[in-house]
Amino acid sequence: MNDIRKVSASAGAEWLLGGFALLRKAPLGLGLLGLLYGLLALLVAASVRLGTGAFMVLELAMVLAGPLLMGGIAYAVRDVDQGGRAEPTDLLQGFRSGRAGRLLLTLLPNIAAVLVCLLLLYVMVGGEALVKMMAALEQASAAGGNPDPGMFTGFPFDRFALWLLISLVIGITAGFFTFVAIPEIMFTSRGAFSAMGRSFQACLRNLPAFLVMLVLLVIAVIAVYIAVMIIGVIVNLLAGQAAMQVVVQLLTTAILMPVAMGTVYTAWKQMLPAGDATTAATPVAGIEA
């Protein structure tokens, strides 16, 4: 942990500004990568028409491909930062040179967080209360109206609110392990667990900066979504609701995916020594933990 740099709280704002600056530097190249990511997600969502089985398989494939695609965007972001160009083929860089297995392992903290949250939900709220809640929601959905408040009599909303708060903390903590793990894996020869450990340590050491970045990122996401929705309303008037949904989805990912990875890349460069050289990782064959 001694080689992990300590940065000021204001660095969190610098990380986010760095993400937007990289997108402005190559709006078409990086925007296209984000758009392709959004298009894949859109196709997976549309596959529900093929049946539940096909949808579940494709949804699982998209979840597994997520870290690898993010690795490709990180690769493109570094190229742009070094004066190069972002190419559509960069999106596949996470699948190459032995990185895929290590990137897939970055899903483990999130999977563990989900399992812990589900267990806490059952313990804190109770299985019977959850069953009644689901039955009430399904009944209201089938009736096409709002649920009767009487259906929720006896539901422990206080414990449910506490569970939401605890789940938020667990989710943020899980994010510590993956925040800068993807560029650490993409641009160094470190294994997945070493990269996630360094990411966790970097976030702990720079917790004020991380929290500042997180708050500003939420604000930025809301601002971008409002701007995109304004465009979506215009598209809705011209081409209908289906076209609006497609445009909103693609524009949102075209902007936010490069900005998010640009933010992560900027944070990685500032906090971890490997970010100075930003040299490509030594190829590793197979899956390396």
Q: What is the pLDDT of residue 146?
A: 66
Instruction: Tell me how far apart the alpha carbons of residues 199 and 180 are, in angstroms, rounded to a whole number.
Output: 5
For residue 129, being part of any structural domain is answered with yes
**Number of other CB atoms surrounding residue 189 within 10 Å:** 16
Total domains, the chain: 1
For residue 285, being part of any structural domain is answered with no
For residue 286, being part of any structural domain is answered with no
Q: Predicted confidence band at 285 (pLDDT cuts at 50, 70, 90)?
A: very low
Q: What is the pLDDT of residue 287?
A: 39
Identify which has the larger pLDDT, 142 or 283: 142
C-alpha dihedral, 227 to 24 to 95 to 269, nearest 10°: -110
For residue 56, being part of any structural domain is answered with yes
Q: What is the pLDDT of residue 33?
A: 96
For residue 4, being part of any structural domain is answered with no
Beta-carbon contacts of residue 61 (< 8 Å; ≥ 6 apart): 44
* Average pLDDT, integer, range 200-211: 95
Mean pLDDT of the chain: 88
Instruction: Tell me how far apart the alpha carbons of residues 234 and 243 are, in angstroms, rounded to a whole number.
Output: 10
Is 151's pLDDT higher than 80? no
For residue 158, being part of any structural domain is answered with yes
Q: What is the pLDDT of residue 282?
A: 38
For residue 1, being part of any structural domain is answered with no
Q: How do residues 82-139 score in pLDDT, each as one tens digit? A: 999 999 999 999 998 788 999 999 999 999 999 999 999 999 888 887 887 787 777 7
Q: What is the pLDDT of residue 279?
A: 44
Q: What is the helix (H) or strand (E) element at residue 67, kind and residue range?
A: helix 52-81
In the chain, beta strands by DSSP E: none
Is 276's pLDDT higher than 80? no
Structural domain that includes position 198 = 11-277
For residue 94, being part of any structural domain is answered with yes
Is 284's pLDDT higher than 50? no
Instruction: Tell me how far apart the alpha carbons of residues 261 and 257 are, in angstroms, rounded to a whole number.
Output: 6
Q: What is the pTM of this model?
A: 0.86
